């Protein structure tokens, strides 16, 4: 919506979505408000390697160029609110920070995908990485620059991430781990691809009222959140991270679209912020990342990618079919 308000005649949007019914609904809403816009939809589920490969294949058939790739699919399954940690935060005076970032008060219960990956890791990170790798040939076409723009989180913390457990199989904060990993990966991609004209940036939408937020307290009725809105507006006087609406949360995504990517700092995360008066703006804040760790994660993801491709090749030989996409369909059905 933010892009079409400013660039209706110049851009061609392709919405990559898991749920096609909701995708068509979003497309219809955008075309209703911007009748001359070019908006397409493409089905992709980043938790499934089969879906990602099929979507990338379809995209390359449709288009020969990609200038901006927004990587913002994300899940926080079965979120649990730690009441004891919350009250400890009240006593320590850290309650505003805890509410804004979820640090110390949110845990999740992860699951395993049919591909054998942790679901949060696959959905929030690896699926995006594989999609990017599959679309490399349509990025930076004709000597033009291209941008990768990740949606990270203020809940991305080094303490939740381990190179020895990049999928976070053993921990209770897979969401935080996956978002910190996206911060690291963005840095590594800049190291490897800037000379080719490809730039990667990381954003944070702030505290936004979405389905992810509502699922933290699934027993609370909808009107409860409406009653809380005045409280959130009051909190906004003390912290600018309470963007509250998806429109405000998209501020940094839109701001990055307008910038020259070579002028951006690869060590910064670009935060959507809202002042106490409701004015939105973007602010760059240094991330807690380093080159060595980012490079190690990048190599680990490349190895996982090689493993995935080897598995698909083995399946292709097993099925004895000349067409990879037929094999992928059989694999998906079997799973």
Would you state the pLDDT for residue 198? 97
Q: How far is CA 310 from the centre of its chain?
A: 26
Burial class of residue 45, CB neighbours in 10 A (0-12, 13-18, 19+)? buried
- Please indicate whether residue 175 is annotated as part of the active site: yes
Choosing from 63, 68, 70, 175, the catalytic residue is: 175
Contact 13, 40 (CB under 8 A): yes
Would you state the pLDDT for residue 21? 96
For the chain, which domains are there? Answer: 67-334 (3.40.50)
Burial class of residue 223, CB neighbours in 10 A (0-12, 13-18, 19+)? exposed
Query: What does each of the 335 residues of the chain score in pLDDT, given as a tens digit?
Result: 888 988 767 899 999 999 999 999 999 999 999 999 999 999 999 999 999 999 999 999 999 999 999 999 888 876 665 555 555 555 555 555 555 555 555 667 889 999 999 999 999 999 999 999 999 999 998 888 999 999 999 889 999 999 999 999 998 899 999 999 999 999 999 999 999 999 999 999 998 887 766 666 655 666 777 777 787 788 787 788 888 889 999 999 999 999 999 999 999 999 999 998 889 999 999 999 999 999 999 999 999 999 999 998 888 777 655 455 555 555 444 33
Would you state the pLDDT for residue 263? 96
């Amino acid at each position: 919506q933010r892009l079409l308000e400013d660039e209706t005649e110049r851009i061609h949007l392709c919405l990559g979505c898991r749920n096609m019914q909701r995708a068509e609904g979003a497309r219809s809403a955008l075309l209703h408000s911007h009748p001359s816009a070019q908006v397409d939809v493409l089905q992709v589920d980043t938790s499934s390697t089969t879906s990602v490969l099929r979507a990338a294949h379809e995209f390359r058939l449709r288009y020969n160029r990609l200038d901006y790739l927004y990587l913002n699919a994300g899940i926080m399954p079965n979120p649990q609110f730690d009441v004891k940690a919350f009250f400890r935060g009240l006593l320590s005076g850290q309650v505003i920070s805890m509410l804004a970032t979820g640090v110390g008060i949110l845990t999740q219960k992860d699951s395993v995908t049919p591909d054998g990956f942790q679901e949060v890791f696959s959905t929030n990170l690896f699926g995006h990485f594989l999609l990017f790798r599959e679309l490399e040939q349509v990025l930076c076409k004709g000597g033009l620059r291209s941008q990768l723009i990740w949606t990270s989180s203020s809940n991305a913390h080094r303490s939740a991430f381990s190179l020895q457990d990049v999928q976070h199989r053993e921990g209770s904060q897979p969401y935080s781990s996956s978002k910190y990993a996206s911060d690291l990966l963005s840095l590594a991609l800049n190291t490897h691809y800037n000379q080719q004209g490809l730039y990667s940036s990381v954003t944070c939408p702030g505290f936004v009222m979405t389905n992810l937020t509502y699922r933290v307290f699934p027993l609370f009725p909808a009107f409860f959140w409406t009653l809380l809105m005045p409280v959130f507006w009051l909190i906004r006087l003390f912290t600018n991270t309470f963007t509250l609406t998806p429109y405000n949360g998209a501020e940094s995504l839109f701001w990055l679209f307008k910038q020259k990517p070579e002028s951006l700092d690869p060590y910064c995360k670009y935060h959507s912020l809202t002042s106490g008066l409701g004015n939105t703006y973007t602010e760059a804040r240094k991330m807690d990342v380093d080159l060595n760790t980012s490079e190690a994660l990048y190599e680990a993801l490349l190895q996982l990618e090689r493993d995935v491709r080897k598995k698909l090749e083995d399946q292709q030989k097993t099925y004895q079919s000349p067409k990879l996409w037929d094999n992928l369909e059989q694999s998906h059905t079997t799973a």
